[in-house]
Amino acid sequence: MALKRRLEDHTHVSCDLTTDSNHLFLGRVGPVTVKGRGWESPLGLTCKAIEATVYECKLDIGKVISNQKLVLTTPAEGLAMVALSAVDFGNFITHPLMKPPSPPMNTNNNNNIIVGNSRLTFLKENVSVNPSLGTVTFYGKYAGSKWKFKLQRAAGSGQKTKIQATLAEFGEDGEVTQINYEGMENALALSTSQFFNELVLELDGTLLSFEDMMLTDKGEDSSVMLSLRIKVKKFPSPGIEF
């Protein structure tokens, strides 16, 4: 019920808890699995479906009884699988918790700086998911111009994902020129690939780190399936908005 109250909208929410009296007396609860469909948070984070499992929670029973609040003695860990439509993915990359990277400095052969340290801004619109090609295409704004990104799984490369960046539309301010746009493409590809490979979302004590991805065309529309590792250091505060 607490989770339902925090969501702006949903079509399904369920929670399965496994424990017994002996383990509960010792403060051990779990595994705990939360499932949902059609979730929307107050700040616009959406998903088609989610299934998250925390293997075991070790609770401080004394504080639970005295404070009427769940307190962990050690961090709880688990895994989550989230299904995102193209619209959901656009909401995901533009959510306030997401902080796009500043592309790294780069130089050409003459050691002239060709990439600045402006902040990249992802765009919500025109996201497409193509399971046959294994790519998610999305766009961003950088240095006054529009850039196209193709995200895909990087199997066997030591990385989880890889991204190709290309110039989609020149801006009118002249910051991107024919001379330096290739350097900007390389820098944007490098920084956004690193960003997704090292992605960690922090929800008031709950850490969600990117683990893997796959694409599927099952259902009414194509989906991006994100595998996330969960680490709960403390349970989120009642008033937190995400």
Cα-based distances in Å from 78 to 75, 87, 95, 211: 10, 27, 23, 12
pLDDT of 38 = 93
pLDDT in tens, the chain (242 residues): 556 667 777 788 888 888 777 777 777 887 999 999 999 999 999 999 999 999 988 988 888 788 777 788 999 999 999 999 999 999 999 999 888 887 765 545 544 444 555 789 999 999 999 999 999 999 999 888 899 999 999 977 678 999 999 999 987 766 666 667 778 888 899 899 999 999 999 888 899 999 999 999 987 899 999 999 999 998 877 667 77
- H-only helix segments in the chain: 2-6, 21-25, 61-67, 86-93, 181-197
- Distance between CA atoms of 92 and 202, rounded to whole angstroms? 14
β partners of residue 36: 13, 50
CA distances from 103 to 93, 146, 187, 189, 227 (A): 16, 14, 6, 9, 26
In the block, residue with structure tokens 């949902």 = 36
Spell out where the chain has E strands. 12-17, 28-29, 32-40, 46-54, 57-58, 76-84, 106-107, 113-115, 121-122, 128-130, 135-142, 145-153, 161-169, 200-203, 206-216, 223-232
The SS3 call for residue 55 is coil
Residue 72 has what DSSP assignment?
A: B
Location of structure tokens 């240095």? 143
Cis peptide before 236, with omega less than 30 degrees from 0? no
C-alpha gyration radius of the chain:
21
Cα separation, 218 vs 216, whole angstroms = 6
Residue 82 backbone class (left: φ over 0; alpha: ψ -120 to 50; beta: rest): beta
d(CA 149, CA 42): 27
User: Distance between CA atoms of 34 and 50, rounded to whole angstroms?
Assistant: 8
Q: Residue 170: what pLDDT?
A: 85
Taking the model in full, what pTM does it have?
A: 0.87
Give the pLDDT score at 175.
63
Nearest Cα neighbor of 192 from 100, 84, 110, 126 is 100
